[in-house]
Structures are given as C-alpha cells and as structure tokens.
C-alpha cells in the first residue's frame, strides 16, 4: 500500500537537524512505493538538497517572514497550507521542542490521531505500527492509527538515518506561504550558556546527581562534556538541591534521553531517574557507593570518587580524541 | 479571573510498572496528580490569589480520579469536575471531552501540565487549545498575568523564550514553574465537604471515536554488561576509555 509521506524538517543553529534525516528514513520504510516529501517552513537559506541526499524525493520550502522563528500559529498555519495542497497520508516530524508543540494541534485541526515520541516504525500487513515508550520507558506499547491521516513524532537518535547519497536528485520547490495571524509574540530568547548540545538529541550525555554536591561540582562534568561534544544532564536530586537548572533534569519528570553513551556521575539510580535514561545504548556509572542501584543498569561501573575519576576521564578522552 | 485546570491522575513516579495480560497493572499502585498538572494547579491558585476569581479542575477519569480532584480541592481549588472516560479513549477523545465541557464556560485562562508521566504523549492540552481556538504557550517556567495579557517564560529545548499572549489562552506547565503547596488541614476538611460534579460523555455530544489503538504492551528487558572496573582512579579512567572505544565502540 503506497503512502505519500510529508516530513517537517527542522533547522537548528543554521544546520538541518539529524532527526529530520531520521524522519525521512522512517518515511522511506513505510512509503511502500509512495513519495517522501520534506518541507522546510521559513528556512529558505538552508540547502534543501541535503534532504534529497538523505532520501527525500522532493523538498518544499514555504517562505514567509513570519516563519523565521517558530510560533505555534505561524507554523501551524503554514503547515496546514502545505498539507491541504499535498494531501499526504503520513506527516512525520522529530519529537523536538517544536515537533511536540506543533503536531498535536496539527493533528487536531485535521481530526486525526497522532503517535508521539515513536522510537521505531514498521509496516505490518496494511498497517503502520509504531513503538513508543510509556512511563518514560518503564514499558513500551505498539500503537497504530485506526484510520485516516497518520501523524507522528519520532524520537531523536532511534531510527537510523540513511547515508547521504549525493547522486540522488529531486526538486527543491520554493513557494510563498499565505500570511497567518500570530497570537503569540516571542519577545526575547535567552540562550543557555551550557554546552549548546541539545540534551534530548545528544549522542553522549554526562549527568550529575546528588554526589556532585554543588553547582560548582558540575564543572568537571562540563569539562568532560566539552571534550566529548556531549550534553550535560542531571538527576532530580541534583535539580531539587539547586545544583543546576531543571532544564537539565533527566527522569520520569524531566527529559527522557537515549544517547549512545550515558555517563552517570554521583547518581544513585532512583526509579524515577532510570525511567528517563535506561534505554541509552551504553551506560557508565561512577559512584562512591558500590550498592548504588545505578550499577545494576550499567554496562561499565566504577566505584570511586567522581571528583577524582572524571578529570582523569577528561584527560584520557582528550588524548584519545585529539 | 476564571481559571480552568486540566488534570490527569497518574502513577506515582516512584511506582514500579508491571505489565500483565497485555496491560499495565494499576491495582496496588499509588495514584497521584500528574506532577506537571500539579504545577498547573499551584500556578492557578497563585494567579487567583493575586487577581481573584475561581479555579476549576476538570479530569477525565474513573472513580479513582476523585482522590486526585479532592487533593486539588484541598490545595485550594474551588470546583472539581470528573468526566467518565469512554472505552479506549485516546488523546483525541479525551481532548474532545475536555474541550466540549469547557466550551461556553468562558475561562480566561486554561492551565495544564506540559506532559503526563504515564503516556508521555503531551498531546491533550494542545488539542484542547486547538478545539477551543485558543492560542497556547507550552512548557512554561514562569507566568505573569497583567492587563489582560500573559507573559510566559517557556523552556524551548534548554533555551528560555519569553512569549506574550492575550487572554484567553492555554498555558502548559513545565517543571520549575513553582513548588506545589501541600494541602493544609483546614483545606483538607473543606475539600471533604465539596461535591465533585460528574459528567457522562454522552452529555457532551462529541465524536469519541478513538483515532489510535494500542496493539501490544510489553516490558523492556535490558541486557547490560555490568562490568566493574577496579584500580586507582587513573587506571579506572584509562580502562574505561579503552573499553568504550574497543568493546562498546561508542567513542
């Protein structure tokens, strides 16, 4: 059953986000002969041909000054215009800050069902089956859309993107989006001074818990993160104690992460924290307490003082990664 | 200021999740107000304390939801409404019910949690905003109401966006927005005497056909290496880096 797929692609810091490529790959696996179209909302200065190389058949660029920064009304209005013109069977987007803000309203505008935060997608018979975590990963469900338009967000780092193939060709079509009333106005954006790596999409996460002891205690973690190009996260205990911002919190309350490598420093491993990180590919635990539950979910465990071990790790990685 | 809070009852986040016969077992589990919705309740109470008005909490849930609604009343909410859940309700059906109930009641502000800790989908509140044709600001970490407008600081993937929106609007709460109060003893006594209004889905006259279906529920089994590395801190660090490169191949 051929399906036409529309992927809402995203740009961050001037570059296409890897999760957009992952969505294209997900789209390809369920298109079954249909087309995969990527749409860029307002990001006219980005090279759309990269989306073609990653598996899209064509790229639509909806232009409009009001689309330059994300607003729910602006992007939803523009996406709806593209949707009505294209009438795809499936709309996919990364489960990013924008994806989770935009697609639920888009789904409702079209009286459609939606699967949020899918980690896998496949075709079974004539159905598209999504896998997604519940209880922040304590369990999983498979879920289908029972009829009509399929809308889904895909969690970063879970579906493999296709290798870039410069030999692929396809049209990049620009068009002007009709104006939309904006009811929310972004007055200011305060960028976090942190490493600049988005926690939920990071390939490596260095996280600190109560054992970090203070805000200052996060410094060696940031130094390690910088060498690794990693994001820094925290347990609820660290956030509650005021060692760091709640934006860093990983757990059932807080963010769910699935990096390739998770380095837990001074984190005991409460159930509510494990829920947010236990699906990471490789887990390292560094903790003074050999009985800490975090070691049960760890691939590699170090019983020791994080303030001694982490600086050594930073040096070793620096030597390794040059 | 008429404020509505959309509330869901969820598992305590410290609860163990067990899957049996294809469903999550909730028999012996402590149920609480979804933590993000509790921030919404607290924020509603703070806004009412500053601006006057009423706080109404509404939830789609079975008899057990009364406990969560009672707690919101004990925290200080004025009214509570429970809508019976239809079978197989998904986000589409639940949002349709909540919006149908809220429609025509002219709330100035609707508050809800950013996400629920059970399904984690984060759809329902935004769907309600869409049905009611209200603007929304999601993941608020600070809300200021003045002159018919809300100024909201929201978490945008770690950055903070300052967003201005006119009332009426819907705002969802992110962690860090506030510290929810504990119900006071007089609050608990007062809440006991309050009626929780019950609404049947049929009374709301909306399409409740779910758009999604869960086809299986299972628990993940993780095979971990559980390899402990010994030695001095320096030796441990060196061995770990080697293992991550040569065995785990992640760096």
Task: Give the tokens for residue A310.
Answer: 């982490």
Give residue B91's domain range.
2-204
Buried b (16+ CB within 10 A) or exposed e, B31-68: bbbbbbbbbbbbbbbbbbeeeebebbbbbbbeeebbeb
> Distance between CA A135 and CA A145 in Å, rounded?
20
Closest CA to B29 of B11, B54, B45, B43: B11
Query: What are the helix (H) ranges across A190-321?
Result: 219-228, 236-240, 271-277, 306-321
- Domain for residue B37, yes or no? yes
CB of B101 within 8 Å of a chain A CB? The answer is no
Task: Give the tokens for residue B61.
Answer: 């849930």
- Position B27 scores a pLDDT of 87
How many structural domains are present in chain B? Answer: 2
> Distance between CA A212 and CA A266 in Å, rounded?
6
- Position A185 scores a pLDDT of 97
Contact criterion met (CB < 8 Å) for A252 and B117:
yes
CA distance to partner chain B, nearest, from residue A313 (Å): 5
Indicate whether B141 and B234 sit together in one domain. Answer: no
- pLDDT band at A136, cuts 50/70/90? confident
Provide, as residue numbers in chain A, all residues whose Cβ is less than 8 Å from the Cβ of B138: 72, 100-101
- Domain for residue B248, yes or no? yes
Indicate whether B60 and B110 sit together in one domain. Answer: yes
- Delimit the CATH 3.40.50.620 region(s) of chain A: 5-176
One of 3.30.43.10, 3.40.50.1220, 3.40.50.620, 1.10.10.10 is the CATH number of A199-321, namely 3.40.50.1220
Indicate whether B78 and B176 sit together in one domain. Answer: yes
Indicate whether B196 and B229 sit together in one domain. Answer: no
The interface pTM score, or ipTM, of the predicted complex is 0.94
Residue A44 burial class via C-beta count within 10 angstroms: exposed 0-12, middle 13-18, buried 19 and up: middle
Distances in Å between the Cα of A237 and the Cα atoms of A107, A202, B9 are: 36, 22, 24
- Domain for residue B155, yes or no? yes
> Distance between CA A300 and CA A286 in Å, rounded?
9
Q: What φ, ψ does residue A63 adopt, rounded to 5°? A: -100, 150
* CB contact residues (below 8 A), chain A span 273-312, against chain B: 275, 278-279, 281-284, 295-305, 308-309, 312
Q: Please, which residues have CB within 8 angstroms of residue B84's CB and are 6 or more apart in sequence?
A: B60, B62, B198, B199, B200, B201
Tell me which residue has tokens 């441990």: B236
Task: Give the tokens for residue A251.
Answer: 């757990």
Indicate whether B172 and B249 sit together in one domain. Answer: no
Greater model confidence, A199 or A282:
A282
- pLDDT band at A290, cuts 50/70/90? very high
- Position A195 scores a pLDDT of 55
Q: Considering the domain delimited by A5-176, tell me its CATH architecture.
A: 3-Layer(aba) Sandwich (3.40)
- Delimit the CATH 3.40.50.1220 region(s) of chain A: 199-321
Closest CA to B159 of A193, A258, A144, A18: A193
Q: Which of A112, A144, A204 sits opposite B213 (nearest CB)?
A: A144
- CA B216 from chain centre, in angstroms, equals 24
Query: pTM (2 decimals)?
Result: 0.91
> Distance between CA A53 and CA B75 in Å, rounded?
55
Strand partners, A143: A130, B214
- Among B31, B159, B246, the strongest candidate for a mutation testing the A interface, having the largest count of A CBs within 10 A, is B159
> Distance between CA A224 and CA A227 in Å, rounded?
5
Q: What is the number of other CB atoms lying within 10 angstroms of the CB of residue A263? A: 31
Mean pLDDT, residues A268-293 = 94
Distances in Å between the Cα of A220 and the Cα atoms of A49, B26, B206 are: 40, 42, 56
Task: Give the tokens for residue A84.
Answer: 């009505």
Indicate whether B53 and B148 sit together in one domain. Answer: yes
Task: Give the tokens for residue B140.
Answer: 């608020």
Indicate whether B123 and B199 sit together in one domain. Answer: yes
Are the C-beta atoms of A114 and A104 separated by less than 8 Å? yes
pLDDT at A322 over 90: no
Indicate whether B85 and B47 sit together in one domain. Answer: yes
Contact criterion met (CB < 8 Å) for B176 and A246:
yes
Show pLDDT as tens, one digit a residue, over chain B (251 residues): 999 999 999 999 888 899 998 899 988 899 999 999 999 999 999 999 999 999 999 999 998 999 999 999 999 999 999 999 998 999 999 999 999 999 989 999 999 999 999 999 999 999 999 999 999 999 999 999 999 999 999 999 878 999 999 999 999 999 999 999 999 999 999 999 999 999 999 999 999 999 999 999 998 777 899 999 999 999 999 999 999 999 999 99
Distances in Å between the Cα of B148 and the Cα atoms of A107, B169, B170, B226 are: 29, 10, 13, 57
- Domain for residue B211, yes or no? no
CATH number at residue B200: 3.40.50.620
Contact criterion met (CB < 8 Å) for B13 and A146:
no
Indicate whether B148 and B243 sit together in one domain. Answer: no
CA distance to partner chain A, nearest, from residue B138 (Å): 7
Indicate whether B150 and B249 sit together in one domain. Answer: no
- Domain for residue B216, yes or no? no
- Position A194 scores a pLDDT of 54
- Domain for residue B215, yes or no? no
Indicate whether B246 and B198 sit together in one domain. Answer: no
- pLDDT band at A193, cuts 50/70/90? low
Q: Please, which residues have CB within 8 angstroms of residue B91's CB and are 6 or more apart in sequence?
A: A104, A113, A114, B119, B121, B123, B124, B127, B212
Are the C-beta atoms of A13 and A45 separated by less than 8 Å? no
SS3 assignment, position A280: coil
Indicate whether B193 and B230 sit together in one domain. Answer: no
């Amino acid at each position: 059953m051929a399906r036409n797929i529309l992927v809402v692609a995203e740009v961050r810091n001037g570059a296409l986000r890897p999760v957009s490529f992952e969505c294209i790959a997900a789209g390809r696996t369920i298109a079954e002969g249909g087309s995969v179209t990527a749409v860029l909302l307002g990001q006219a200065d980005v090279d759309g041909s990269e989306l073609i190389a990653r598996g899209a058949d064509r790229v639509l660029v909806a232009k409009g000054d009001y689309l330059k920064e994300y607003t729910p009304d602006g992007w939803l209005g523009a996406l709806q215009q593209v949707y009505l013109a294209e009438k795809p069977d499936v709309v996919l987007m990364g489960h990013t800050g924008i994806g989770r803000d935009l697609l639920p309203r888009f789904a409702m505008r079209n009286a459609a069902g939606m699967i949020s935060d899918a980690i896998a997608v496949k075709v079974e018979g004539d159905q598209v089956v999504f896998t997604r975590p519940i209880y922040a990963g304590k369990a999983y469900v498979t879920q289908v859309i029972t009829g009509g338009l399929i809308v889904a967000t895909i969690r970063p780092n879970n579906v493999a993107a296709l290798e870039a193939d410069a030999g692929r060709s396809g049209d990049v079509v620009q068009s002007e989006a009709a104006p939309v009333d904006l009811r929310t106005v972004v007055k200011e954006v305060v960028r976090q001074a942190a490493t600049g790596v988005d926690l939920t999409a990071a390939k490596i996460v260095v996280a600190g818990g109560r054992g970090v002891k203070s805000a200052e205690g996060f410094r060696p973690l940031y130094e390690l993160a910088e060498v690794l190009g990693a994001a820094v996260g925290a347990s609820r205990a660290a956030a509650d104690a005021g060692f760091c911002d709640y934006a860093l919190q990983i757990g059932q309350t807080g963010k769910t992460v699935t990096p390739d490598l998770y380095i837990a420093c001074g984190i005991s491993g409460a159930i509510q924290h494990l829920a947010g990180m236990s699906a990471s590919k490789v887990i390292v635990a560094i903790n003074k307490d050999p009985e800490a539950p975090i070691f049960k979910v760890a691939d590699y465990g170090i019983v020791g003082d994080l303030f001694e071990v982490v600086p050594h790790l930073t040096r070793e990685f620096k030597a390794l990664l040059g | 200021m008429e404020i509505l809070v959309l509330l869901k009852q969820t598992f305590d986040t410290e609860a163990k999740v067990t899957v049996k016969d294809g469903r999550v077992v909730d028999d012996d589990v402590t149920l609480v107000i979804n933590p993000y919705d509790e921030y919404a309740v607290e924020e509603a109470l703070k806004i009412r304390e500053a601006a006057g008005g009423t706080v109404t909490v509404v939830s789609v849930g079975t008899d057990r939801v009364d406990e969560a609604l009672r707690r919101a009343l004990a925290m200080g909410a004025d009214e509570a409404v429970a809508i019976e859940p239809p079978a197989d309700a998904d986000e589409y059906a639940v949002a349709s019910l909540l919006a149908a109930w809220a429609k025509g009641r002219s709330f100035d502000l609707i508050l809800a949690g950013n996400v629920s800790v059970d399904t984690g989908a984060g759809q329902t509140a935004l769907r309600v905003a869409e049905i009611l044709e209200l603007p929304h600001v999601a993941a608020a970490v600070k809300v200021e109401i003045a002159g018919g407008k809300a100024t909201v600081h929201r978490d945008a993937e770690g950055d903070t966006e300052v967003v201005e929106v006119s009332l009426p609007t819907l705002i969802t709460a992110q962690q860090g927005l506030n510290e929810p109060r504990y119900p006071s003893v007089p609050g608990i006594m007062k809440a006991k005497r309050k009626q929780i209004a019950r609404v049947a889905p049929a009374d709301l006259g909306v399409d409740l056909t779910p758009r999604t279906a869960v086809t299986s529920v299972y628990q993940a089994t993780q095979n971990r290496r559980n390899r402990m590395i010994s030695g001095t801190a320096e030796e441990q660090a060196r061995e770990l880096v080697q293992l991550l490169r040569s065995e785990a191949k992640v760096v």
